[in-house]
Chain A
């Protein structure tokens, strides 16, 4: 039996933002994208299954590098007072999110933890090694947002937990907080830090050398300071515009990096239409589209199936959901972001007036390139040898089905089962001798 699956009758989203009407072949035994032609001529295999894309777009699976939680689960919560220190429940929650997140087209994500008590980091980071539960999105590693953040730009982070790195050498503080093991563990390690906090700038080079993706965020830095961090190895800006000084024409601050004539950063941006005005998104995209990385920055109430209305959240706090706007009940305060990644893609397409296939790059190719290394060689593109992590989206940007490791892990309930992604019945029935009646 052939292990080859072929996708046909749709458009492949290419790494240049164009799309092309072509077929894609994947192997269920390797879980990778393969050359249909070599499997045909060399292994004499024809596909055992053909998926009719019905004119939709086949895209690499979406990658979210900043997500704090979803479906009622918060990645920063560890119940220390249980027998196993909360580990069992934490992992179960993490995997639950991984299993459900595929409905948003997301096939890889980087769980993000906000500023914690110092002693929690070593416990949490250990649990955030790469992990691929069955029928679920891949967990790539961790994104630690804090605690080395600027108090003036702390946003929702607890002021009392923020830290500086004043030890000698300053990296010793990082080693102590995240743990040596945490800083050197396998997988993706993103640290959002403020280079303008005492001692932090001196650590950027060392962190980068040790495989950490350094992202500038929650920072009050001037352009000069931000530039210096970039020169020392920082690659990214965390949720552009949020938790940093607004751009001033004489001192553009961290945002000014987008106009840098030489090395431009990747920048995470929350395109839910609420955290940044659509026009602001357009300006950022026009200034530096090659750096634009869509992030959800989702909080635990993120759940596209949750109806509008008032829901319980944390103890004594309720939230009110109105579309993708989630407010703390009785206030006008945003309770974080709750917009699924595929919606961010279609928002970017609208706000920046770009085709959906170009907007997809900001959630596929670019996050993969931002993470670099093995990830950029295995994910984010429809190329031979890359992981068969895929999503089928329609031209409105809605997810129709999601594949991880060459296995369909989710499909829109409305389109039914089978090899056809539409509401039409599967055409043609060929009888035993391979011919249709009468021919």
Chain B
């Protein structure tokens, strides 16, 4: 795993946005793999990333014509056009602002008649698309990834999940503070679904994520912090802001910062291709 630290949330957003744009732009469609397959989260952390992607698109530096997306999760029991649904979030913050073909976007349908089938079909659709090239994610304050709340199996697949009481209380504010109106269930990709992606990028910002970040990086692999599973992923990148590093050891922070510094020095001396041959450009270099 590699950790990149930036000063502010906005800089984190720019960094990951540029990173994803580079991946999309360097993707060469082949007859059997015509699309770059991108996994996407919702929530406040990824917003600066989406903002950057939209900016790049508007500048003409990025197109989503060759991109297929799969979202991580969706509530069960609220209509798609509910202001708090993840369909609404994605449409408002990304899909309506870029040139993606609506047919190429996938979000779990929380209103499906047969929720089990919906989940199975989703996994099948991901396989049919050739697997996910890059899964962008965030983490919860308790270290969950997607709706894989603490205690979720680390080899779980797309399924129905009951939300933790803490998550329901936290969501109350989006539903007129009416506890009864807050969805209690969600459909979510599993930890293994994320782990299957060829590359995973996590955005972790804010002081309230600091403890979760230290647990997922400095703690062991543990189902109470489901994001920690990424320690075993061959190509995982976490980008965080300074606030989120507050619970990390100084040594940890310094080490990850030094990796970036070394890469910069190598590149300055031998050019951008040098770090590539040294393997330093890969997030897994750490």
Chain A positions near chain B (C-beta within 8 angstroms):
6, 23, 35-38, 40-41, 43-46, 427-430, 433-436, 439
Contact = CB atoms under 8 A, between A and B. Distances in A.
Nearest to B61: A439
Contacts, number: 59
9 contacts: A23-B96, A35-B81, A41-B105, A45-B102, A46-B99, A46-B100, A427-B58, A434-B99, A439-B62
B66 A434 contact: yes
A23 B64 CA distance: 20
Contacts of A37: 80-81, 87-88, 91-92, 96
Contacts of A430: 60, 63, 99
B101 interface: yes
Interface in B11-27: 25
Contact of A36 (B58, B61, B80, B91): B91
Nearest to B57: A428
B58 A41 contact: no
B25 A40 contact: no
Given A37-B80, A434-B66, 9 more contacts: A36-B96, A37-B87, A40-B91, A41-B87, A41-B102, A44-B103, A434-B65, A435-B25, A436-B60
Contact of A46 (B60, B101, B107): B101
> Could you tell me the dominant secondary structure of chain A's interface residues?
loop
> Could you tell me the dominant secondary structure of chain B's interface residues?
loop
A43 B80 CA distance: 13
Nearest to B22: A439
Interface of B: 25, 58-66, 80-81, 87-88, 91-92, 95-96, 99-103, 105, 107
Given A23-B96, A36-B96, A439-B25, A429 B91 contact: no
A439 B64 CA distance: 13
Nearest to A36: B96
A385 B17 CA distance: 36
A435 B67 CA distance: 12
Q: Considering residues B58, B88, B100, B102, which has the most beta carbons from chain A within 10 angstroms of its beta carbon?
A: B102
Nearest to B63: A434
Contact of A44 (B60, B66, B92, B102): B102
Contacts of B87: 37, 41
Closest 3 CB pairs of A and B: A434-B65, A434-B63, A428-B60
Given A40-B95, A428-B59, A428-B60, A46 B102 contact: yes
Contacts of A46: 99-102
Contacts of B65: 433-434
Contacts of A436: 60-61, 63
A41 B111 CA distance: 13
B93 to A, nearest CB: 12
B102 A429 contact: no
Contacts of B81: 35, 37-38
A427 B60 contact: yes
Contacts of B62: 435, 439
Given A44-B103, A427-B60, A38 B80 contact: yes
A248 B63 CA distance: 68
Contact of B107 (A41, A43, A44, A434): A41
B102 A40 contact: yes
B103 A429 contact: no
A439 B105 CA distance: 23
A408 B66 CA distance: 32
A43 B105 CA distance: 12
